[in-house]
Structure 1
Amino acid sequence: MNQIDIESTDLNLLKVFEAIYDEGGAGRAALRLGVTQSAVSASLARLRSVYADPLFVRTGRGLAPSLRARELRPIIGEALDKCRQSLSLARPGAAGFAGRSLTLGLSDDFEIALGREAIAALAETAPGLRLIFRQTHSRLAADMLMAREVDLVIASGGLTAPALRRVTVGQGGYACLVDPASLAPGAQALSLDEFIRRPHVLVSSGGFIGAVDEVLHGHGLTRRVLAATTHFSALAFLLRGGDALATLPTHAARGLAAVAGLRLLPCPVAMPGYAIEMGWRADALRDEAVAVARRGLLVLLQGYDWSGAEAPVAGGRR
């Protein structure tokens, strides 16, 4: 097997690999890179020859990475990050980050509460930087950081790997959401009896048992879970027109109440709090784009009211 000489290999091919992997198609990769689709296809053919692997397989939804491509993604990503870091040292304080993207891993409860403000914060502190929200949760966040699938994460725990750094930005709590039409006139709270009586919609990555069930079990109580979903945003549709309720992080409950015409009410069961953290790879801050974005997002996160339950009257796994 002949050894490949780096001096005879066009390193721009690595940028093409990254773009195809992230965008899931040659056409979208071409738009990202500002080149023609035929140029991307030609580069992919050369990449396949270099790595002796198809790398990407066509599916009904675009190009899916092969096992070898999945192995290569963190290695190539790290190499490109090092190049970007070296260039940022050559241009300290350069204005704007045009053409750069930053991937923020978070679950949709955080995206509901903070997404718009995060976009605005980075538009001010890192002009030109494109923000990509990528879904994750506390059991996946660390692995996604280590695999360089995300640059920064906001999560409720799970960021304990030695190669990661994290900072606690707040303490989360819980609230309930219901359709206001299902409440008695003037009702401002749910009794424990009504909380137990109503059917519940659970938000969980899998199964029908959540933190509420564990707390109720400690009091010798149970609830009836009518349905379960993996996305908090679905509650805007699942709760309307019925008497079901959902218990979810207060920050997401406030956001959904404000836009979906749902009523936010205090949870009648004392729920445990949880730490909200931002995490990143230990070496990531050598990239100026990540460092600047982290500073801007920390200001936003540390100034956010995580536990407040105030919301318009109508407007974790829970």
Structure 2
Amino acid sequence: MNTSHLNFNQLDLNLLRIFEAIYQYRQLSKAADKLALTPSAVSHALRRLRTFFDDPLFTRHGRVLVPTATCESLAPDLLASISSLRNLLSGAHTFEPGQSQQSFRISMPEALENNLLPAIAEASFRSAPHIKLESVAIDRTRLADRLSNRELDLAIDVALPLSEPVCHQPIFSDSFCVLGHNLPDTLDADFYLKSRHVAVSTRAKGLVVEDIGLLKQGMQRDVRVRCQNYHSAAALAQKNHFLLTAPTRLASILEQNFDLQVRPMPVKISAIQLHLYWHQQLEKDPATCWLREIVTNLYKDALQNREIRVKNNESDYSK
């Protein structure tokens, strides 16, 4: 695409909002829902964008629209400009939770969604009953890009080596414990390491965080099954007498839903810490600030209590 021929005066700025929605959702129907337009109107707008930029911008692969190379090169600056304009105009009004029908997209580990999402939804709907929440799982290596491109409003994940323009703060820290069926009253390291285990990770390969901690101490356990979420792991632990190592707060919930007992970890492993991530473009956005406050307040007491009990024992699981 030769950008020298582009004439800004010929561009309908409303088309940029449609470009943003298509880039974010990768489907015309979802973009139309986001903008409260008909799919045919969005399709017509895409044709106008293609004519203006003299590029297809998106090519169809099955049901998904995949950005072209030109689209990918345009997107960061275009989306940043749209966000800057939105933030500028947001200074003229405040976010009203009780009236808002805004949609928020939050990324979180699938393994922890059962624990995180219901609590966030309950706290959010209490003051903003008409908003919409969408939880998604993404590749951690693309987190900064997804936040920059406005495909995400917030992300919750373990500590990651990210810097500005991605902002973050710790929201929760928790120690590990052990769950199992018909466990003895006390577990020792020998029993733990010789038992069969079920592990949880959303990654396709690589050690899970507990095994990284064990390996640092020259220890290794017998992992028989690896799955993607803790509820599946708890069901496996109950049926097959596996041990499940899980964050303590989550374990208290699993214990209520499965025939499992919770015991302290017999081996010292550093606590797991979750961070809240957002893009600098949304630092002063009223709606995003409101949602950040909801999430941070939800876990503030738990984080403070954990920091009192476990000083200097925080772990960086960014590897």
- TM (normalized to structure 2)? 0.80
2:134 — aligned with what? 132
Shift in Å at residue 161 of structure 1? 0.6
* Coordinate RMSD, CA, aligned: 3.1
Report 1:272-283 matches (<5 A).
272-283=270-281
- Tell me what 1:56 maps to: 58
SS at match of 1:239: helix
Change (3 A) 1:111 1:281: same
Equivalence for 1:313: none
Residue in structure 1 matched with residue 240 of structure 2 by the alignment:
242
| Alpha-carbon offset, residue 294 of structure 1 | 1.2
Q: Look up the match of 1:192.
A: 189
Deviation, structure 1 residue 97: 5.9
Kindly tell me: are residues 44 and 286 of structure 1, through their superposed partners in 2, closer, same or farther at Cα, counting changes over 3 Å? same
**What per-residue deviation string (whole Å, max 9, x for no partner) do you get for residues 111-138 of structure 1?**
2222112112222344533222222476
CA 50–302 in structure 1, closer or farther in 2 if over 3 Å, else same: same
Give the structure 1 partner of residue 311 of structure 2.
none
Which TM-score applies when normalising by structure 1? 0.81
Show CA shifts across 1:87-106 (max 9, x none): 32222355656342222222
- The match for 1:118 is 120
- 208 and 39 in structure 1: CA distance in 2 versus 1, 3 angstrom threshold: closer
CA pair 239-58 structure 1, distance change in 2 beyond 3 A: farther
Q: Greater shift after overlay, 44-53 or 210-219?
A: 210-219
Distance between the aligned counterparts of 1:136 and 1:176, measured in 2?
28
Bigger CA drift: 31-40 or 103-112? Answer: 103-112
Q: Deviations over 1:47-73 (max 9, x none)?
A: 222233322222334333333334444
The answer for the alignment partner of 2:109 in structure 1 is 107
Residue aligning to 2:200:
203
Kept in 2, the 8 Å contact 1:285–1:291? The answer is: yes
1:298 is aligned, of 296, 299, 302, to: 296
Match in the other structure for 1:311: none
> Is residue 165–residue 281 contact of structure 1 (8 Å, CA) maintained in 2?
yes
In structure 2, C-alpha distance between the alignment counterparts of 1:117 and 1:108, rounded to whole Å: 15
Bigger shift: 115-124 or 58-67? 58-67
The correspondence for 1:213, drawn from 198, 211, 226, is: 211
User: What letter matches 1:264 in structure 2?
Assistant: V
Q: Is the 8 A contact 2:255 2:262 kept in 1?
A: yes
Distance 1:154 1:39 in 2: 35
> Which residue is 1:39 aligned to?
41
Which residue of the partner structure matches residue 310 of structure 2? none
Comparing 79-88 with 112-121, which one deviates more in the overlay?
79-88
Q: Contact 1:138 / 1:159 at 8 angstroms: preserved in 2?
A: no
Comparing 281-290 and 120-129, the one that deviates more: 120-129
- Give the whole-Å Cα distance in 2 for the aligned partners of 1:260 and 1:80: 48
How far off its partner does 1:297 sit?
1.5
How far apart are residue 299 of structure 1 and its match?
A: 0.8
Q: What is the deviation of 1:261?
A: 4.7
Q: Is the alpha carbon distance of 1:6 and 1:113 closer, same or farther for their aligned partners in structure 2, counting shifts above 3 Å? A: same
**SS of structure 2 residue aligned to 1:39:** helix
Correspondences of 1:79-118 after superposition (within 5 Å): 79-92=81-94, 94=96, 96=98, 98-118=100-120
How many residues in Structure 1 have an aligned counterpart in Structure 2? 305
Secondary structure in 2 aligned to 1:271? coil
Is 1:142–1:159's contact at 8 Å kept on the other side of the alignment?
Answer: no
Asked if the contact 1:119/1:131 (under 8 Å) is kept, the reply is yes
Q: Distance in 1 between matches of 2:67 and 2:254?
A: 35
Assess if the C-alpha contact under 8 Å between 1:105 and 1:153 holds in 2.
yes
1:154 to 2:159 alignment: no
Residue identity opposite 1:226 in structure 2: R
Query: CA contact under 8 A between 1:57 and 1:66: conserved in structure 2?
Result: yes
The Cα offsets for residues 158-205 of structure 1, whole Å up to 9 and x where unpaired, read as 154132333223322112233x3xx25xx4443333322222222232
Identity of matched residues, %: 27
Q: Which amino acid aligns with 2:67?
A: P
Matching residue of 2:167: 165
d(CA) in 2 for partners of 1:41, 1:259: 47
